[in-house]
Amino acid sequence: MSVLAYDLGAGSGRALLGHLDDRGITATEVHRFKNEPVKAGERMHWDILRLHHEVLQGLHLVKQQGEQPGSLGIDSWGVDFGLLGHNGELLGNPYHYRDGQFNGMMEQIRNELTSQRIFERTGIQFLSFNTLYQLATLQRNGSPLLGAADRFLMIPDLLRYFLTGEAVNEFTNATTTQLYNPVSGQWDGELLAHIGVSDQLFGEAVMPGTRVGQLRSSISGELGISSIPVIAVAEHDTGSAVVAVPATDRSFAYLSCGTWSLMGTEIDHPAITSESLALNFTNEGGAGGTFRLLKNIMGLWILQESMREWERQGKGISYAELLKQAEAAPPFASLFDPDDDLFMPAGDMTIRIRQYCRDTGQQEPQDQGAIARSILESLALKYRRVLEWTEQLSGQSFNGLHMVGGGIQNQLLCQWTASSIGRPVWAGPAEGSAIGNMAVQWIASGAFKDIWEARRVIRDSFPVTEYEPKDRSIWEEAYGRFLRLTDSSKSQA
Ligand code: LRH
């Protein structure tokens, strides 16, 4: 049976058609489109109607290929949302979480409620752009949106709503808001009351794999296709990516590697403890009754932003060439904490990297190769730090690390990660979120029994590249230096 998976990442959205038969899964990209935020005035928005158009375009291309998927699902990054008015229409263009208007609200709400109280109720890590702080900002700044709102939908809920006409909240994304209590399985009335947002906007969150309607007849009629069931998959992209980790062992560590790096392990119940709070780990809801005990690491965003900066300055460089120059640059010359708040906003990234190095008495990386090298080494060292914390919190020890997501195409990063953690890295599949999205659709249709059967078939269907650690002693020395440096830095932890 074939299924259609839409995965909207930072930069691009993709529609992949997945086929499952006795030989395994094949995934074919049928449509790729831009997903670029749009700045209007001071505000940064999703180009949401364009994305809806691209979703329809994907259906059109699927039809042209003579395919008739049995279902479709949509995933994207967590935390962002849209609001519907009383007439069921979208109010405004959803904001992008990197919009500056949310700055400072997290600190304010933490002061008012205490971190402990918020964490006890949600189990979610403190990130300045969590939905909780986005909504509080709208409310406190007197945005007219909340007064007019009737329904709150996360981005994939919203795109699904455009397709089906059913306004339904999905569980994995509900948990990332930091407004949902994973123990009671309810939106948290106390947190909502504190920020003055009505709990009437929120519907009961459905579990990944729930069929939540089918294509509106106006859409299927216009496209000349028969209606397709729409499934709420693990709509938080990280939730989908972790479904696709081809692990054999029930105890495994993963790194979902894209614009963000999400590192952690899978657990059965949220680990809401003073230790996970202190290390700022999260307990995001997953597919199949799982939770992800993980931590956000700033990830390839820093490299992507540097490349965009060079592009703007007319010094654009290809990814392959940049990695070649990074490999040739002197090792461990300039290290930094990728999670320092300094690196969160867009723009001027290389200036901020140099500033960090200057402020910490290190050599300032000058050329593109040196900058790329300092980013990739710093990430690899941070991965070791977070892997050790994951072991500490979960009481498990891992004999290697699974890496999934587009970032694994960066072989240098995979190799340096293996060298830094001193254990093998197993890299694959690259389209983790889309494949996990498909897997949940196949679980919904009964083609797979559960996520473990899905993982077995994914393992047999997609190549996994193994990287063995190298140059251990120099990485060990660099890690000591990295720890001394980063202990004093101002990060979201
Ligand atoms: C990764 C991701 C991550 C969120 C961030 C906003 O794409 O969904 O899990 O924290 O984006």
- Pairwise CA distance, residues 280 & 123, whole Å: 10
Helical axes 105-113 vs 115-122, angle rounded to 10°:
90
Output the residue whose Cα is nearest ligand 1's atom 10. 78
Residue 78 CA, ligand 1 centroid: distance in Å:
5
- Pairwise CA distance, residues 246 & 236, whole Å: 19
Output the residue whose Cα is nearest ligand 1's atom 7. 77
Q: Which atom of ligand 1 is nearest to the CA of 262?
A: 9
Residue 77 CA, ligand 1 centroid: distance in Å:
5
pLDDT band for position 1 (cuts 50, 70, 90): confident
Mean of per-residue pLDDT scores for the chain: 97
Question: Do residues 363 and 334 lie in contact, with contact meaning Cβ atoms separated by under 8 Å?
Answer: yes
Output the residue whose Cα is nearest ligand 1's atom 4. 78
Q: Give 221-242 pLDDT, tens digit per residue.
A: 999 999 999 999 999 999 999 9
**What are the Cα distances from residue 350, in Å, to 306, 309, 343, 365, 367?**
6, 8, 10, 9, 10
- Pairwise CA distance, residues 165 & 162, whole Å: 6
Residue 291 CA, ligand 1 centroid: distance in Å:
15
Query: Which of 52, 138, 66 is CA-nearest to residue 97?
Result: 138
**What are the Cα distances from residue 382, in Å, to 48, 89, 375, 377?**
34, 43, 11, 9
Q: What is the mean pLDDT of residues 139-164?
A: 98
For the cut 70, the answer to whether the pLDDT of residue 454 exceeds it is yes
pLDDT band for position 488 (cuts 50, 70, 90): low
For the cut 70, the answer to whether the pLDDT of residue 117 exceeds it is yes
341 is catalytic: no
Token digits for 272? 């809401």
pLDDT band for position 491 (cuts 50, 70, 90): low
pTM reported for the whole predicted model: 0.97
Which of 96, 237, 257, 293, when mutated, tests ligand 1's pocket best, judged by the most ligand atoms within 8 Å of its CB? 237
**What are the Cα distances from residue 319, in Å, to 95, 124, 266, 326, 401?**
29, 34, 32, 10, 24
Q: Which atom of ligand 1 is nearest to the CA of 127?
A: 10
pLDDT, residue 11, reads 82
For the cut 70, the answer to whether the pLDDT of residue 64 exceeds it is yes
Residue 314 CA, ligand 1 centroid: distance in Å:
30
Tokens 């189990």 locate to 123
- Pairwise CA distance, residues 322 & 367, whole Å: 10
Q: What is the mean pLDDT of residues 39-52?
A: 97
- Pairwise CA distance, residues 277 & 197, whole Å: 25
Query: Which of 433, 48, 52, 407 is CA-nearest to residue 235?
Result: 433
Question: Do residues 129 and 138 lie in contact, with contact meaning Cβ atoms separated by under 8 Å?
Answer: no
Tokens 């499934």 locate to 231
- Pairwise CA distance, residues 10 & 433, whole Å: 13
For the cut 50, the answer to whether the pLDDT of residue 51 exceeds it is yes
Q: Which atom of ligand 1 is nearest to the CA of 236?
A: 8
Query: Which of 380, 383, 353, 347 is CA-nearest to residue 368?
Result: 353
Token digits for 478? 């660099």
Q: Which atom of ligand 1 is nearest to the CA of 237?
A: 8
Q: Give 322-370 pLDDT, tens digit per residue.
A: 999 999 999 999 999 999 999 999 999 999 999 999 999 999 999 999 9
What is the 3-class SS of 154-197, one letter each residue?
A: EHHHHHHHHHHCCCCCEHHHHHHCCCEECCCCEECHHHHHHHCC
For the cut 80, the answer to whether the pLDDT of residue 213 exceeds it is yes
pLDDT, residue 487, reads 80
pLDDT band for position 492 (cuts 50, 70, 90): very low
Exposure letters 21-46 (e unless 16+ CB within 10 A, then b): eeeebebeebbebebebeeeeeebbb
Question: Do residues 410 and 255 lie in contact, with contact meaning Cβ atoms separated by under 8 Å?
Answer: no
**What residues does ligand 1 touch, defined as CB less than 6 Å away?**
77-79, 97, 236-238, 258, 260, 262, 296
Residue 480 CA, ligand 1 centroid: distance in Å:
29
Catalytic residue among 75, 80, 157, 237: 237
**Range in 400-409, 449-458, 484-493 with the lowest mean pLDDT:** 484-493
